[in-house]
Amino acid sequence: MNAVLLAIVAYVLVQFAIGAWVSRRIVSANDYILAGRKLGTGLVAFSVFATYFGAEAIVASGGAVYAHGLRGALVDPFAYATAIILVGLVFARALWSRGLTTFADLFRQRYSPGVERLVVIVLLPGSIIWAAAQIRAFGQVMDANSGMGLKVAIVLAAVLVGAYSVVGGLFADSVTDVIQGLVVLAGLVILGGIVSATVGGVPAGLAQITPDRLDLYSAEEGLLATLEKIAIPVCGTIVAVELISRFLGARTAEIAGRATVAGGLIYLTIGLVPVFLGLMGTKLLPDIPDPEQIVAKLAESYLPGLLYVAFIGAIISAILSVVHSALHAPAAQISHNIVVKIVPGLTDRGKLWAVRLTVLALSIVAFAISFSADGIKELVETASAFGSAGVFVATLFALFTRFGGPLSAYCSVAAGLLVWAACKYGVGLATPYLVGLLAALVGYVGAALIEGRR
């Protein structure tokens, strides 16, 4: 085991120990899922940032900018950061004020227990796929720094991540998120600072980039294709159980909103560093065959030994935070909204073990997907789009109107998912998500009018 791999494993074990120590306070499922609703602004803000700032925000974003210029940053960080800030401004207070334990509780309150269970099931694959992307990224990092082989590295990554996720609840995750968020900040700022000094400063470096690579909008792609790119992260983020679970644990509705906005602003600010690295990479390392390697290659070329190890630690930090939330949040919904209803009479201890065992089961499924997938980028794109169109429409009507009932929600969720899947995998349409959103809206309104007549 070489020094870098040893440092990676040691870092994960330290985070595991911290999570286990903090988790001694967990005595019920409510503690595990909501941290007792006692999180302050700092913990929620860093947890929101760390939950979304995963490997793709560093590796894939820098690679997209390296390959396509600034328009490669349209989705990440710009669309994702905007969506997180929008959630903080519009949705966080409204959701927190309803006293929800999980996001799916909203659909039981507003529609019916059947809609509640449907939403849990529909959103589950996206979360698992998101976790699978992070496990695969973790495996790639370990393989690149050890030569153990990708499959062996993914197995080891899954074991480390699964154990880490099962032990800690929301409070433990929020505490380690602060540590991991600071490591990510430090790693990216150091690398960005060294690269900036190499090119003579940020203004001087940007002055070397041709104007066409600084355009956010591509006329060649067209307006609809651009809207499709933006709609997936925005709508998907608004109904992402990983994000919502973070601010539901806040002490007050005001903290939930304020801290989510702060997390989005941190995401945008730090997300600009991989964008800058991608732009500078075309000048410093113009012949990288795989664009997604550009940030890692810059780190390898410009960071001395210890700083390079610290940067790898930053990537691992980003992965750990994201994969924990991607497993914790859907497991909480399955346990709280389905298992507890099927097996009534569970004690607090029984409910706690139910959610922990659900996290373990989801970890195994995510590992299987990561083991058989071809790459990270496709996994991330599918995770954001899967099932979110119909849930997004039903959420808007649930929070801000009294229009429509259970039938409307059923039609919206089903139409959004089925039409998106048919257009993407059957027809091969260029804008399947926009069509799915339209189908969900038509389904909801049409069913609501029928319900109204009844």
**Span 163-184, pLDDT tens digits:** 766 666 556 666 666 777 777 7
Query: What whole-number distance in Å separates Cα of residue 325 and Cα of residue 372?
Result: 22
Does some domain include residue 382? no
Tell whether 282 and 417 lie within a shared domain: no
- Domain CATH for 257: 1.20.1730.10
> By the 8 A CB rule, do 54 and 134 touch?
yes
Instruction: Say which residues have a Cβ less than 8 Å from residue 284's Cβ, sequence separation at least 6.
Output: 195, 198, 199, 298, 301
Tell whether 192 and 244 lie within a shared domain: yes
Query: Model-level pTM?
Result: 0.85
Provide the pLDDT for residue 262: 95
Which residue would you say has higher pLDDT here, 115 or 369? 115
What separation, in Å, do the N-terminal and C-terminal C-alpha atoms of the chain show?
Answer: 69
> Which residues span the domain enclosing 392?
387-454
pLDDT in tens, 291-343: 877 888 888 888 887 788 777 777 777 777 777 777 777 887 888 788 877 87
Query: Among the three residues 334, 350, 375, which one is the final residue of a domain in this structure?
Result: 375
Task: Judge whether residue 35 has pLDDT over 80.
Answer: no
Which stretch of 69-83, 116-130, 169-183 has the lowest confidence by average pLDDT? 169-183
Query: What whole-number distance in Å separates Cα of residue 23 and Cα of residue 1?
Result: 30
DSSP per-residue string spanning 349-383:
HHHHHHHHHHHHHHHHHHHHHHHH-S-HHHHHHHH
Task: Judge whether residue 7 has pLDDT over 80.
Answer: no
Quote the Cα angle for 213-217-219, to 5°.
100
- Number of structural domains, the chain? 2
Report, in angstroms and rounded to the nearest whole number, the Rg of the chain calculated over CA atoms: 21
Q: 250 pairs with which residues across the strands?
A: 39
Tell whether 348 and 443 lie within a shared domain: no
Query: What whole-number distance in Å separates Cα of residue 215 and Cα of residue 206?
Result: 13
Tell whether 295 and 352 lie within a shared domain: yes
Tell whether 312 and 393 lie within a shared domain: no
Provide the pLDDT for residue 239: 92
